Structure 1
Amino acid sequence: MEQKPFDPDGVGVDNGTYFGLPFDPETAELVLISAPWDVTVSYGAGAAYAPDAVIEASTQLDFYDPLAPGAWRRGIATADVDYSLQETSQRLRVDASRVIDHLEGGGCLEDDYVVRKVRRVNEGCVAMNANIETQAARWLDAGKVVGLVGGDHSTPYGLIRALGARHAAFGILHIDAHCDLRDAYEGFEFSHASIMFNVLRDVPQVSRIAQVAVRDFSEAEAALAASSERIATFDDLTLAAAEFRGETWDAQCRRIVDSLPAEVYVSFDIDGLSFDNCPHTGTPVCGGLSFNKAVYLVDTLVRSGRRIIGFDVVEVCPASDDRIDAITGARILWKLCGQTLKSNEKPNNE
């Protein structure tokens, strides 16, 4: 069948790309890589299936975005999905689940039953990180902006490492229900609950992490956040209290953005939203941002003149009988793509 010319106002095209867009990675400004991986999730699994679900849901949205009109025309392309990651994730998830069950049953990490399982999981996560870093480096070196669709929240580590090798300093806008500051949670060094701990440890180019809407974290995480000059915490309860006292969301967004440097990576865990937006995410938590509040925050970041150098959308867990998680993930992804391209606009004379 002959391919019809792409019609942005027509029926969504199921062509295996995010949003059904016709762009090639070699010519697009923004390249999306996928990480179908959820080995270390502590509660509900399923995020490994998010890339395919988000691709499917994304063909149902319309392309006009009043916050970044026409930005998509500069090219949003889908890199080939490496499904070997998903296959490895499924295999290692069995080991990780047994470790978690053992610990929840009162066992410890030194028990012979789990030592080898933990080692296999950690080795697999190292390989996944290397895979994502290699994918990201390829497109970054080709002059592209790179976004990542997870997968659980461990998956952006390789992309952030790749950016660290190419930028002198940048910040992270981290929208999440959790701080993700745990050291080797449940024995897994590259746990979904350890991503920001690992970034602080391994990527010195990250000068500040602004954590927004966090509301479920340990005493050790709270102590680390309070003691580190590289972390600015805007926890959910404090944000709500300020709103109850009359501070507008606009003013709060400007405070958050003011804590960040000129170049910013956006790490968007879908559970940063209220869980009516993501009822099946792996670890849902009461509270959180509305969809519009989250979008307004990212828009405030871009209107401030800061540049988004990369981003991720993670912890989307599709369900066979409920599409809301994938629908939300697709629309957050769309907004991030548009805002990222808008923040990277070049003056007309360049």
Structure 2
Amino acid sequence: MDANEFNPDGVGVANGAYFGFPFAPDDAELVLLSAPWDVTVSYGAGTAYAPDAIIEASTQLDFYDPAAPGLWRRGIATADVDYSLLEHSHRLRAEAAKVIEHLESGGRVTDDHVVRRIRRVNEGCAQMNDNIRAQASAWLSKGKTVGLVGGDHSTPYGLIRALGERGGEFGILHIDAHCDLREAYEGFEFSHASIMYNVLRDVPAVRRIVQVGVRDYSEGEARLAAGSERIALFGDRDLALARFAGAAWAEQCRRIVDALPQDVYVSFDIDGLTLENCPHTGTPVPGGLGFDEALYLVECAARSGRRIVGFDVVEVVPRAEEPVDAAVGARVLYKLCLLTLLSKMRGGMV
């Protein structure tokens, strides 16, 4: 379908693209990558199926948005999905599951019969990172803004690396139930629980990670967050205590946005939301941000004059019989697309 023939008020088009949009990546302002991958998930699996499920659910959206009316017309395109990642994920997931079972039974990562498995998983995850990094770099070099749909939370690493190689500093607005600051969790260097640790280690262009809504993390992660000038932690408990004392959410959002530099990457783990928004996510945690609260925060960043330079949506676990997870993921993705395009306009004003 030609873009000029696309009817945003018509029936959703199941053309294999997010939202059924007809834009080709070369002609769009924003390109969406997909990462069907969940090798190192340590509890519930299934995020590897999220890209396809979100594509399917996204055709049920209506496209008018009062926060950014008509901005989708600037072009939101879907890059070809590399399904070899999904096949590789399935193979390595079996290896990782055996390692996790061994550790949960009291074993160690140094035990001989898991060392090779851990090495194979780490090598495979590094290859996935290189794949995403290469895809992202190709589109960034063409002047596109790039977003990513995971997959587990390890998958945006390659995109963040690619952005870091473009020059200039940026910050990360990290919405999540977890800090993801563990070093090589369960022996897996590129674990979903290690992405922000790896970013701090490998991407000096990331000036600060502003973590919002986190509520389930280790003592080691707490020490790292408290001791690093590159981390600002707005934990779920502190946000709730301020709310109980009468602080408006708008006031709290101003404090969070003030901690961000001019250029911002948004990493949106769906488990940062309350459970009714992500009932099947891999590591569910009570508490969290409401759907509107989380997206109001991103809108505040977009309207503050800051520029959103990229984003991801991760940890959505779809269920065929219960469409909530994919439906919420699709709507979070659409809002992030629009707010990213909005942020690139002067002052975030339409």
Kindly report which structure 2 residues correspond to 1:287-298, keeping only aligned pairs within 5 A, or say none: 287-298=287-298
Instruction: Output the CA distance in 2 between the equivalents of 1:5 and 1:67.
Output: 25
- Which deviations, in whole Å up to 9, do the C-alpha atoms of 1:257-313 show, x marking residues without a partner? 000000000000000000100000000000000000001000100111100000000
**1:4 offset after TM fit, Å?**
9.7
- Which deviations, in whole Å up to 9, do the C-alpha atoms of 1:224-265 show, x marking residues without a partner? 000000000000010000000000000000000000000000
Specify the code of the residue in structure 2 equivalent to 1:343: S
- Number of the residue aligned with 1:253: 253
- Number of the residue aligned with 1:33: 33
Answer whether contact 2:151 2:314 (CA < 8 A) is retained: yes
Stretches (4+) displaced over 4 A:
1-4
Instruction: Please tell me whether residue 94 in structure 1 is matched to residue 91 in structure 2.
Output: no
Seq. identity, %: 71
SS of residue paired to 1:192:
coil
- Which deviations, in whole Å up to 9, do the C-alpha atoms of 1:94-122 show, x marking residues without a partner? 00000000000001111111010000000
**1:345 offset after TM fit, Å?**
2.5
- Number of the residue aligned with 2:71: 71
Specify the code of the residue in structure 2 equivalent to 1:247: A
**Unaligned stretches of 5+ residues in structure 1:** none
Instruction: Output the CA distance in 2 between the equivalents of 1:257 and 1:167.
Output: 22
Instruction: Output the CA distance in 2 between the equivalents of 1:336 and 1:154.
Output: 19
- Number of the residue aligned with 1:309: 309
Instruction: Output the CA distance in 2 between the equivalents of 1:346 and 1:2.
Output: 30
- Number of the residue aligned with 2:85: 85
Question: What RMSD, in angstroms, separates the aligned Cα atoms of the two structures?
Answer: 1.3
- Number of the residue aligned with 1:221: 221
Specify the code of the residue in structure 1 equivalent to 2:318: P
Specify the code of the residue in structure 2 equivalent to 1:297: L
Answer whether contact 2:32 2:77 (CA < 8 A) is retained: yes
**TM-score, length-normalised on structure 1?**
0.98
Specify the code of the residue in structure 2 equivalent to 1:236: D
- Which deviations, in whole Å up to 9, do the C-alpha atoms of 1:134-190 show, x marking residues without a partner? 000000000000000000000000000000011310000000000000000000000
Instruction: Output the CA distance in 1 between the equivalents of 2:346 and 2:145.
Output: 13
Specify the code of the residue in structure 2 equivalent to 1:185: Y
SS of residue paired to 2:318:
coil
Instruction: Output the CA distance in 1 between the equivalents of 2:183 and 2:250.
Output: 34
Specify the code of the residue in structure 1 equivalent to 2:189: E
Specify the code of the residue in structure 1 equivalent to 2:58: S
**Unaligned stretches of 5+ residues in structure 2:** none
SS of residue paired to 1:226:
helix
Specify the code of the residue in structure 2 equivalent to 1:304: S
Specify the code of the residue in structure 1 equivalent to 2:291: F
Instruction: Output the CA distance in 2 between the equivalents of 1:142 and 1:320.
Output: 37
Instruction: Please tell me whether residue 125 in structure 1 is matched to residue 125 in structure 2.
Output: yes
- Which deviations, in whole Å up to 9, do the C-alpha atoms of 1:58-77 show, x marking residues without a partner? 00010001111111000000
Answer whether contact 2:2 2:22 (CA < 8 A) is retained: no
- The count of residues paired between Structure 1 and Structure 2 equals 347
Specify the code of the residue in structure 2 equivalent to 1:95: E
- Which deviations, in whole Å up to 9, do the C-alpha atoms of 1:205-229 show, x marking residues without a partner? 1011000000000000000000000
Answer whether contact 2:3 2:22 (CA < 8 A) is retained: no
Instruction: Please tell me whether residue 139 in structure 1 is matched to residue 155 in structure 2.
Output: no
Instruction: Output the CA distance in 1 between the equivalents of 2:204 and 2:2.
Output: 51
**1:56 offset after TM fit, Å?**
0.2
Kindly report which structure 2 residues correspond to 1:1-350, keeping only aligned pairs within 5 A, or say none: 5-345=5-345
Instruction: Output the CA distance in 1 between the equivalents of 2:323 and 2:179.
Output: 27
**1:346 offset after TM fit, Å?**
6.3
SS of residue paired to 1:148:
strand
3 and 344 in structure 1: CA distance in 2 versus 1, 3 angstrom threshold? closer
SS of residue paired to 1:289:
coil
Instruction: Output the CA distance in 1 between the equivalents of 2:2 and 2:25.
Output: 22
Instruction: Output the CA distance in 1 between the equivalents of 2:151 and 2:121.
Output: 16
Instruction: Output the CA distance in 2 between the equivalents of 1:250 and 1:320.
Output: 36
248 and 2 in structure 1: CA distance in 2 versus 1, 3 angstrom threshold? closer
Instruction: Output the CA distance in 1 between the equivalents of 2:313 and 2:279.
Output: 16
